[in-house]
Amino acid sequence: MTLNAVGDLMLARDIITLMDAKGSAHPFAAVRHLLADADVTIANMEGTFTDRGIAASKYYTFRTPPRHAEGLAEAGIDVVSLGNNHAMDFGPVGLADTLAALDAAGIAHSGAGPDAVSARQPARLMVNGLGLAFLSYNYVAESTPAGPSSAGVAWGDAATIRQDVVAAKQAADLVIVSLHGGTEYNDGVTETQRLRARAAIEAGAALVLGHHAHVFQGWQVVGSAAGRAVIVWGLGNFVFDLDFEDLATLGPRPFQTAVLHFELTREGVQSVSARPVYIDPAENRPVPATGDRLREIEARLERLNAALH
């Protein structure tokens, strides 16, 4: 089977204005061909689909009208991770609306729920005869962990990740784990990231997908009990309302991203390749990287991956 993976989808703020004017799938239109050519495409949903709730007491809170969840399906996205520090931006009611909007759009999800048991449940898909289990966890402090009877996100301590991967593996051929952590705008991989990724791989995960840093952090191939595995330390941004002022202050790294394309069998990840993408500040959406932008992203990925080995 084949799988595409991309980073953060932040569909709030200026992106809402674009979707209202040009359609829910507009942010993805220029790269839809890169997303839709795999059996499964997964992304990190950085925000909520709700018109209700009270904003959490934090600097950034993201919400999008639930009607725009349809744009994910139109873009070819099949699964989203909710185990992050924005799934609870508008409280339990905002999360409930998000889950309902994703279900209505036919988008599978994991990493958040009305209680801890639900938040830790994998999203399951059957693809080409392979049973897939997708788990998602957050370990950024600015979030609300789910409790025994309270809504929130799946908290990603190493012991929980290990336990859940082992359990998911009993009923799946491949387990894929999304992990939300690391240091924002930093290329380096933290020891906390390493600890949690190792826990997932040692427990039998075939693929670990990281996000939160808002910059691409590279990937490496590793061996695991389940076969050949890959850890993607950070997928960076994918849809984010980054403008020319952000480019001037943050530099190009948050704009440089990729669609990662994987081939998987029961024995694990057989190949991984990158399709470079650039978040165009003029269009406010991702576009295929070309020319100098393409060469810069390719060189950056090569440097990052070389540093990890």
Burial class (CB in 10 A: 0-12, 13-18, 19+), 148: exposed
* pLDDT score recorded for residue 223: 79
* pLDDT score recorded for residue 33: 96
* pLDDT score recorded for residue 226: 60
* pLDDT score recorded for residue 225: 59
* pLDDT score recorded for residue 309: 73
Query: SS3 string of 213-258?
Result: CCCEEEEEEEEECCEEEEEEEEECEEECCCCHHHHHHHCCHHHEEE
* pLDDT score recorded for residue 227: 72
pLDDT digits (tens), the chain, 309 positions: 999 999 999 999 999 999 999 999 999 999 999 999 999 999 999 999 999 999 999 999 999 999 999 999 999 999 999 999 999 999 999 999 999 999 999 999 999 999 999 999 999 999 999 999 999 999 998 899 999 999 999 999 999 999 999 999 999 999 999 999 999 999 999 999 999 999 999 999 999 999 999 999 999 999 765 678 999 999 999 999 999 999 999 999 999 999 999 999 999 999 999 999 999 999 999 999 999 999 999 999 999 999 997
Does pTM top 0.85 for this prediction?
Answer: yes
Q: φ, ψ for residue 198 (rounded to 5)?
A: -65, -40
* Domain boundaries of the chain, sorted by first residue: 2-308
Dmax (CA) for the chain in angstroms is 52
To the question of domain 2-308 being in CATH 3.60.21.10, the answer is yes
